[in-house]
Amino acid sequence: MQSKRLIGWVGTCLGVLLVASTAQALSVAIMPIWHRVALADCVVIGKVTAIEDKLVMAQANANSPNLEEHRVAVLKIDKGFGSAKGLTHVRIGATIPKPPQPGVPQIAGIEMMHPVNLAVGQEFCLILQPHHKETFFVAPRSYEAIRKQNNAGFDKEAALIERCFKLLENPDASLKSKDAEDRLLTAGMLLTRYKMTGRGVRAGEPPQKTEPIDAAQNQLILGALASADWTKRDPASPISPAQVFGYLQLTDKDGWKQPQNFQEVPAAAHQWLKDHAATYRVQRFVSNKK
């Protein structure tokens, strides 16, 4: 049990995971909402009003070798955040899912990795990215679309997304918030951006470059971790200090020794923060793309 929890804790740095279930089959583990918001361009809340008749042939992503059919939906925006702020409508493209191949083992929850299927009349909260070439946005995975119908938790999830976007509007001020959870959410989202954005390197490309983040913000992020209550375990909380600490991606070179017993991590992490807060500097990935 300890090893499984440790894998999940460390793996939060790496995106969506395939993890072993109790039946030893693979299943999909979904990243927390604040992680998804940190990497989003915008979020929209509203109702689908139309599906365009014409399919658009486009790459699913910038690295896709082939063009695929995209069905484009039009959503009327009730609330918009990020680049969608002030817009009244948005176009959302999604590839058409391929039927499962006979004889190929299916992964539990794999449908969450497929693009969302938008239908006229349905209401959603969508975490979006602009398509790299076309004029529509995309929600590449279904878990980035929170459906309102038959979802008792919709208002709570939408409120958390709105809260996270507002925290990122002025992250330095949010890191100084009187609310410890707001400070922790902001630290987690900033580390997600710094450690995930621009990280990918394809074969033949030069090694990924890094640079230190702003010194004052660095101290605020570490301060948010040091001042957090590591003993409180609230299942209703959207974030935990252990999750955020894992996003630092510390190694032996940073003076971090990973305890074998997961229960010892909070104390070890607190001690590391006490010993290294004055000297450690978070490094952010710098994209090789011009």
Q: What is the DSSP secondary-structure string of 74-136?
A: EEEEEEEEETTTT-SEEEEEEEPPPPPPTTPPPPBTGGGGSPP---TT-EEEEEEEE-SSSSS
Quote the tokens at residue 120.
Answer: 């006229």
**What secondary structure does DSSP assign to 5-63, as a single string?**
HHHHHHHGGGSSEEEE-TTS-EEEEPPPHHHHHHT-SEEEEEEEEEE-SS-EEEESSTT
What is the phi/psi pair of residue 103, to 5°? 85, -10
CATH number of 35-98+112-153: 2.40.50.120
pLDDT of residue 2: 36
Amino acid at position 89, single letter: H
Q: How far is CA 63 from the centre of its chain?
A: 20
User: Is-contact 70 57, C-beta < 8 A?
Assistant: yes
CA distance 80 to 90: 10
How far apart CA 201 and CA 83 sit, in angstroms, is 27
- Per-residue pLDDT in tens (0 to 9) along the chain, 290 residues: 333 333 333 343 334 444 443 444 444 467 899 999 999 999 999 999 999 999 999 988 888 888 989 999 999 999 999 999 999 999 999 888 776 667 666 555 445 556 778 899 999 999 999 999 999 999 867 778 899 999 999 999 999 999 999 999 999 999 999 999 999 999 999 999 998 765 554 555 666 788 999 999 999 999 999 999 888 777 788 999 999 999 999 999 999 999 999 889 999 999 999 999 999 999 998 866 55
Domain boundaries, the chain: 35-98+112-153, 170-201+208-286
Its pTM stands at 0.81
Which residue from 233, 250, 249 is spatially nearest to 241, judged by alpha carbons? 233
Q: What is the pLDDT of residue 105?
A: 60
Nearest in space to 123 (alpha carbons), one of 157, 95, 100, 96 = 157
Give the separation between CA 141 and CA 110, rounded to whole angstroms: 10
Residues 6 or more apart whose Cβ sits within 8 Å of residue 127 = 36, 37, 40, 43, 139, 144, 145, 161
Sign of the alpha-carbon dihedral angle for 281, 175, 193, 110: positive
Evaluate whether 272 touches 196 at the Cβ level (below 8 Å): no
